[in-house]
Chains A and B, each alone.
Chain A
Amino acid sequence: MTAVAPARWLVAAIAWVVPSDQRREWRREWDTELNWCAASGRGAWHQLRRARGAWRHAIWIRAQRWRTDMLLQDIRQSVRALRARPALTAVAVLTLALGIGANTAIFSAVHAVLLRGLPYPQAAQIVSIYATHRKYNFDHGVERPEDIQYWMDHAQTTALIAPIDGGSATITTGGEPDRLRYSSVTPEFFQVMQVAPAIGRVFTRDEVIAREQVVVVSDALWRSRLGGQTNLSELTIDLNGQPWRVIGVMPAEFKFPSQIAMWRPFDFASAQKAWYLGSVARLKPGVTLKTAQQDFDRMAAELERQSPKARADRGFNVVGLREDLAYRSLDGLKLLQGVVALVLLIACVNVANLMLAQASGRLHEFSVRAAIGASRTRLVRQLLTESIMLSLIGAALGAAIAVPGVRALVAAAPPFLLPYPDEIGVNWTVLGFTAALAAATGVLFGLAPAVMLSAPNLARTVGQGVRTASAGLSLSRRQFFRGGLVAVETALALVLLVGGGLLVRSFALLSAQAPGFQPENLLTAQISLPAARYATSEARHQFWSDLSARLASVPGVSAVTLSNALPFSNWEWQSDFKVDGREDIPNNGAGIREVSPGYFDALGISILTGRGVTAEDRAGAPAVAFVSDAFVKRHMAGLDPVGHRIKLGRTDPWLTIAGVVASTRHMNLAEELRPEIYVPAAQSDGQTTMMVALRGSNTAALTQPLRAIVKALDPQLPVQSLKTMTELIDASAAQPRFLMTLLALFATLAAVLAAIGVYGVMSFLVSQGRREIGIRMALGARPGQVQRRLVGQGLRVVLLGAAVGVAAALLLTKLLKSQLFETQPNDPLTIVTVTTLLVAAAGLACWIPARRTSRINPTESLRQN
């Protein structure tokens, strides 16, 4: 049964609307429909009505096709447009890749440190609590046990509080002796963190009270030293020469506190009063950080009411776990993320400028397309497709740059700046961020050219042609816009350059600081004696003097000395003191160093008056001390120091000052010269941990003999922190150096991008203004005059940008204040220098294309136009 002819014809006619590749199937379906209609006995009229419905179906299919086709077409045309201008495309892609790559790399770190979920259940309820002191301006201090006990008894917002003590111990199991950090915690610690061991168990209250030697180890320690043994029943490790039973292994992702290898039982109840402890707590469900802080403020106020004198200015600081872990990295990472965001913004402005330049060259193409009916939306879409494609290619390249970039970042970063470095990398979240960034970037730099080019009056330019559409040497609306972009770019680059310049200047001043001794050719190391095996003062003194004697005989060693706190070793001992006859004058303590004979000579610290430490200053000999000239200036003004008496603490015996030495810096180069007191190590009780310093012209060759001698004296002793003094000083400046290097790098990148931007605009101005230049030159203008005019025009825009940039820099560099050493955020020298540099670079970028005008032949250019 076949349908009536008019119905079939109608369907056949409508079929032409359907895209050819779908037409056959479409026809088949509609023919079947009509045939069934006929077969079921419906009349011709009914069949015609059915056939009429084919029209809407065909239109729907065609519209669908248009939608997908147009996108494909946009992409095809974009690829063609980008390939037609390979140099421009390459510059744009590279610019974006650098901007997006830098952002991806820094975001990897930001994500790992600040955004990633923590591996602890309801981590938002975990807090650390610190002591604060308004007068001394600290808010991350450790706490006294009696305060922690007070919280335990009176806090209303915490469910559990766990005090944390810690230290380091020498491990001799499963490899060479090494010194590892441990935390001493109560069983509540694991309840606060709500993490159970992956294997075994944590210690019980009974084990804590009985002081049993049981330990829970980290996954890393368990793998590296215990061979990943799952049966813990017989497992022990040797710590400081004592066997400790391993009862649990924490999961690999459990890393709290950071860089801890094991957790040992801590008997808080019998903690001595003098101890200072860290603490971690879990807030009750639903309690916010703010409420908890109010609770601790209340307790601080109550304590102050009870003993106003002792508790004045003291308080407590409740810090969320994430913020606590990121405490040291927060400022640096925020700064870097801000800096790379600016770099990306400059890259966007630059590419927008490049796109505008090329779009101007395509004015004719777009005018024609608009004239034959392309809608404004269609043209905008086409240009946006181009820019998004550019940014996606840039993003892919940027992600590829970011992978080694992140590795370099982690390798170069000081360890405390990026906690958990092994977890920083380009992962799916980071790539998602990159993709989103690329899309946003594409729209950002694509929108301006798209809107400018698809302007409604575009069609009018068709008749006039492109040549007259350009405005020559005076800035047209479009060129004015481009000039504005250059000014923005210059301003942004200048902000970064001022920031980078300030950090460079600050670092130069820091590096030029004298440490107060001669750091070259000094090898240092730390050695700790287990108290159990070196229980007596004599045993300890014997070891240290044997070590000194043996090291002195090593060929190439010109001096050997020991101290309990070498400069820049990150160790500090402070002591109260009294100056004879000045007991009434308060002081806030001085650095106290126990040193072996020849210390000042070995380190190159000048002896100003009196003498240095000698072998005669032994136990039983008159007790002596040596002080730094900073000490004399601050605490002994008007006194003759040599022969005068001082006292450490309140009860110690009087010491006679035997010499005054030059002052040194101890923790970092930025600090003031220190008031310090040196005492002969032989007249003390004998330290368990000492630092050794060897002077020799080839420090690298001294490492092996040092290890061998320590091993010969005691095979179970690790030699720790083997570093040259120069390395120690460098490490003390690691954070400023790291920030300075990165900021200088990004600022330079920004300046180069800005110069490229200026160059692009000037090139465009020259090439578009050939006609006017031709006329001027035909009328007698010399090339030099034309060039001056062009350069002047470019520089006006640059100077405008620079002025805005300096103003913005003055506002923004205040954020850098905490990172600067002896440099003001508005340092005029830095601002003038970098502004001059940037303007000079921009001037050069103006002059190179302007120079081309001298090659313009007036008659030729007039004839061409």
Chain B
Amino acid sequence: MRAMSITTLSVLHAIRDGVAYGFDILDATGLESGTVYPILSRLETSGLLRSTWENETRAHAEGRPARRYYTITPAGKAALEQATKHYAALVPSLARGKRTR
């Protein structure tokens, strides 16, 4: 399996922390819409995310558009954990590299 990119990691991380909607994910990660939406589609295709549409009548009753609601799957959690470990292991060595220079 290819290593997860840092942008994908941050999207998955945001969703794991309960940020569930496209618009909010953009805000939470600070990424471009053209980056986030393909990532969401890709993660959903590969089974790391699941999505459902909100009940439309309820959203209308609350006077707002219905939203697509993303949740992380167990496979997504596992992938996130693995990627986090990978980067966590990388960071100290990067830091060391900086010090010696």
A contacts, CB < 8 Å to B: 28-33, 35-37, 39-40, 49-57, 60-61, 64
Contacts and interface: CB of A to CB of B under 8 A. Distances in A.
Nearest to A32: B65
Contact of B32 (A31, A35, A36, A53): A53
A60 B41 contact: yes
B34 A55 contact: yes
Interface in B45-68: 45, 53, 64-68
Contacts of B34: 52-57
Interface in B1-28: 21-23, 26
B42 interface: yes
Given A31-B65, A53-B33, A54-B33, A36 B38 contact: no
Contacts of B37: 29-30, 33, 53-54, 56-57
A506 B41 CA distance: 69
Contact of B23 (A37, A57, A60): A37
Interface residues of B, number: 20
A380 B65 CA distance: 49
B29 interface: no
Nearest to B38: A60
A64 B38 CA distance: 11
Given A57-B41, A60-B41, A29 B33 contact: no
Contacts of A28: 53, 68
Contacts of B42: 60
A29 B68 contact: yes
Given A60-B42, A61-B41, A64-B45, A40 B35 contact: no
A54 B65 CA distance: 18
B28 to A, nearest CB: 13
A40 B67 CA distance: 14
Nearest to A37: B23
A580 B53 CA distance: 110
A32 B22 contact: yes
Contacts, number: 58
A520 to B, nearest CB: 72
B33 to A, nearest CB: 3
A33 B22 CA distance: 7
Given A40-B23, A60-B41, A60-B42, A32 B35 contact: no
19 contacts: A28-B53, A29-B22, A32-B67, A33-B23, A33-B37, A36-B21, A36-B64, A36-B65, A40-B23, A50-B33, A52-B34, A53-B32, A53-B34, A55-B34, A56-B37, A57-B33, A57-B34, A57-B38, A57-B41
Contacts of B23: 32-33, 36-37, 40
Contact of B33 (A33, A39, A40, A60): A33
Nearest to B51: A29
B contact face: mostly helix, strand, loop, or mixed: helix
A28 B32 CA distance: 19
Nearest to A36: B23
The 10 closest A-B pairs by CB, nearest first: A53-B33, A53-B34, A56-B34, A57-B37, A60-B38, A36-B23, A35-B65, A50-B33, A32-B65, A57-B38
A39 B45 CA distance: 30
Contacts of A54: 33-34, 37
A727 B37 CA distance: 79
A453 to B, nearest CB: 34
Contacts of A56: 34-35, 37-38
Contacts of A51: 33
Contacts of B64: 36, 39
A37 B68 CA distance: 14
Given A53-B32, A54-B33, A32 B66 contact: yes
B35 A53 contact: yes
Query: In this complex, which of A30, A33, A56 has the most chain B Cβ atoms within 10 angstroms of its Cβ?
Result: A33
Contacts of A30: 37
Contacts of B67: 32, 36
A322 B84 CA distance: 47
Contacts of B65: 31-32, 35-36, 39
A30 to B, nearest CB: 8
A103 to B, nearest CB: 33
Contacts of A36: 21, 23, 64-65, 67
Nearest to A31: B65
A53 B22 CA distance: 12
Contacts of B66: 32
Given A28-B53, A36-B23, A37-B23, 14 more contacts: A28-B68, A32-B23, A32-B66, A32-B67, A32-B68, A33-B33, A36-B65, A39-B65, A49-B33, A53-B34, A56-B34, A57-B37, A60-B38, A60-B41
Contacts of A57: 33-34, 37-38, 41
A679 B43 CA distance: 90
A491 B34 CA distance: 61
